[in-house]
Amino acid sequence: MTKPRISIVIPVYNEQGILHAAIVDLRERLKSFGWSYEVILAENGSRDHTVEIGEELSRKYNDPATGQIRIMSLGEPNYGKAMKQGILLARGELVICEEIDLCDADFHRRAIDILETGEADLVIGSKLADGSEDDRPMVRHVASQAYSTMLKVLLGFRGTDTHGLKAFRRVALLDTVRACLVDKDVFASEFVIRADRGGVKIREIPVRVIEKRPPSINLFKRVPNVLKNVAKLTYAIRIRG
């Protein structure tokens, strides 16, 4: 079987409510692009039927020419660890990082077009850049802005958003992924900041965020771990170098 040209990595955790419909809908939207692609469902720690649904999807769709679905499943809940392992499993020349409640094919199209021109090796879909639309509740929008400001001050981050949608040329970013030290939520930020510091050509594009459901984990419950990992990252990058 041929290798897919594009890998779409989607971390999933307790997503039995939307997983099947989201994947069928994504496949439908991608059909008109004519891509050879795989979707890697990077699961860990789900206590519902996410794994069974993912396995069923992977049995049904197994040809990259028409969109292959794969699932990996390990250990306790950890978004960053799942994303990292999913990226390392990806076989495509181009990799897209997605979220199951977004699955934004319009971003996929625009980001892949940019990668193909060679203008950038990493494209970031920003929900905070000029021209973006963030339909999430105001408290989450403001929390995202505060988080980006913290990354700017502590780590010299030069963009507007590190979380959410990304697309990149796999070989150009593999060493960056492997160098990342922190997991959970902050992995996504470390990935972008390390890429920027390493001289990777980055382009941010505005996106419209329309979630299929509210987040599974309460925003405020995430704060202590985020602060701990940002402190760890600041030490690793700014002090240890």
Ligand X SMILES: Nc1nc2c(ncn2[C@@H]2O[C@H](COP(=O)(O)OP(=O)(O)OP(=O)(O)O)[C@@H](O)[C@H]2O)c(=O)[nH]1
Residues that bind ligand X (CB under 6 A): 10-13, 15, 42-45, 77-79, 82, 99-101, 163-164, 215-217
- Closest to 165 measured CA to CA, from 222, 213, 209: 209
Task: Provide, rounded to whole angstroms, the least separation between the CB of residue 227 and ligand X.
Answer: 15
Selected from 101, 161, 185, 190, the binder of Mg ion by CB under 5 A is: 101
Whose tokens are 């392992």? That residue is 85
Chosen residue from 215, 223, 231, 235 binding Mg ion by CB under 5 A = 215
139 binds, among Mg ion, ligand X, none (CB under 5 to 8 A by kind): none
Nearer of residues 35 and 187 to ligand X, judged by Cβ: 187
CA–CA gap between residue 91 and residue 84 (Å, rounded): 14
Give one word for 180, left, alpha or beta, with left for phi > 0 and alpha for psi -120 to 50: beta
Is 214 a binding residue for Mg ion by CB under 5 A? The answer is: no
Q: Closer to ligand X at the Cβ: 65 or 74?
A: 74
67 binding partner (options ligand X, Mg ion, none; Cβ < 5 to 8 Å by kind): none
The listed partner (ligand X, Mg ion, none) that binds 189, CB under 5 to 8 Å by sort, is none
E strand or H helix at 174, and its extent? helix 170-179
Q: Which amino acid is at 210?
A: I
Of 166 and 170, CB closest to ligand X: 166
**Is residue 134 part of the contact set for Mg ion (CB under 5 A)?**
no
Asked if 105 and 31 count as a contact pair (C-beta separation under 8 A), the reply is: no
137 binds Mg ion (CB under 5 A): no
Partnered with residue 68 across adjacent β-strands are: 38
Q: Could you tell me the CA-to-CA distances from 121 to 113, 139, 221 in Å, in that order?
A: 11, 32, 34
In angstroms, what is the minimal distance from the CB of 182 to ligand X?
14
Round to the nearest angstrom and report the end-to-end CA distance of the chain.
Answer: 43
Which residues lie near Mg ion (CB under 5 A)?
101, 211, 215
